[in-house]
Amino acid sequence: MIPDARTLAGQAPDGPLLLAFSGGLDSTVLLHLLTRAGLGPRLRVVHINHRLQADSDHWAACCRERVTALGLAFEMVTVAVDTGKGMEAGAREARYRALESLADGATVVTAHHRDDQAETLLLHLLRGTGVAGLGAMRPLHRRGTLQIWRPLLASRRDELLALAERRQLQWIEDPSNRDLAPRRNFLRHRVLPLLAERWPAVVETLARNARHLEEAGWLLDERAEEDAEAVARGETLKVAPLLALSGPRRRNLLRWWLRREASQAPSAAVLAQIEDLLAAPADRQARVEWGGWQLRRFQGQLYRLRLSALAPLRGEQAWQSEQGACQLGAWQLRPGTGAVPVPVPPGRLILRPFRGGERLRRNGMHQQVSELWRAAGVPPWQRRQWPLLYRDEELVCVPGVGLADSVAPQDCQLWHLSPIEAIAD
């Protein structure tokens, strides 16, 4: 059922709206409905040009003409599509990156409908997606920094076509939509019509099942949140109570915990690797890498680490405390509050990365920095990312551990070392 103008106006989120407009049937009907509902004054329209078809630039020009004829703000963005994960997935990721850069607080409006819902469920079932990935698309939800509104999820494609023909709307026919090579197109043009011959309500049934699966996913997330109260410790999971859970509850918690940061759930194969990591002897330096992340076990904790953040610290920075904050790599040492307290002595100082073999003279003895870190429980992967503080060529402070004997604590100012990302947040 297509929403009428009053319903659409009542459902619209507050604030500005940004319509993703391809110029095809679905988004053309949605643009028509939004303007009839009186939402034009707070609507911007963006066309994302993937440059995947010979006529892409012509279509972009047509979209501009139709939108500006309505007196609406129009933007066109050209994107580069990474086809490493497939054309459809690459185009989708490029679209959402463009929308994130353009939204500026606006709610993104898309023309997904009930047939899309059914196709998506079938695709995910055939990929072996878990319950969390089988849930229905929601009319209003968040994806990263975006809020997305899908007002046509209760509408069928044939209803949109009938309305477009009745209102004599014009839209772009993309010939690639008839290409059976993409899996979604194959389902749309071959599989679903065949199923509909035997089960005429197949689209409605699949959409209803997607809603049921969404509810099941919510229940699994609630169970994971309850388990996390006993298992989570900051940004890590405690291995012993995690292993004490039943296999299904443990895997459910792992999926939920990883999905919160990685925005995607791990496959069954990746979960099996994580299970092996959890069961490995404590002295093994085992790890699991997946989708830009690394999972490691250390001192009874399971760590979730961004691969991009694991590069060793490089270079050095000389400065004096009178000059203010000092930065080295992803770290900033500055007065005030922060992650790690650092007593800063007077004089010319140098921040340097740990290279191995350094010693700090404490309590009358030269102690290996690596041993000090081991005693302090600093994970191995953090040690080559951790800056050390020198005065001339003498190591005078290991942040988070202590001062050299040559430095009087009363002569120091208390500064703090923090990741630059945390300061920006």
Residue 48: beta bridge partners? 77
**pLDDT tens digits, 148-181:** 999 999 999 999 999 999 999 999 998 888 889 8
pTM over 0.75: no
**pLDDT tens digits, 369-420:** 989 888 888 888 888 888 899 988 899 988 888 889 988 888 888 888 888 7
User: Would the annotation count 26 as a binding residue?
Assistant: yes
Query: With b meaning 16 or more CB within 10 Å and e meaning fewer, what string describes 165-177?
Result: eeeebebbebeee
User: Would the annotation count 27 as a binding residue?
Assistant: yes
pLDDT range class, residue 422, cuts 50, 70, 90: very low
Domains in the chain: ranges and CATH? 5-210 (3.40.50.620), 235-309 (1.20.59), 317-419 (no CATH)
Q: Find the mean pLDDT for residues 305-310.
A: 83
3-state DSSP call for residue 52?
coil
The answer to whether the beta carbons of residues 52 and 26 sit under 8 Å apart is no
Q: For residue 421, what pLDDT is reported?
A: 61
Q: What are the two backbone dihedrals, phi and then psi, of residue 86, each rounded to the nearest 5 degrees?
A: 105, 150
Structure tokens at 123: 């695709």
Name residue, tokens 């053309």.
Answer: 28
State the chain's mean pLDDT as an integer: 89
User: Would the annotation count 22 as a binding residue?
Assistant: yes
Question: What distance, in Å, lies between the first and last C-alpha atoms of the chain?
Answer: 44
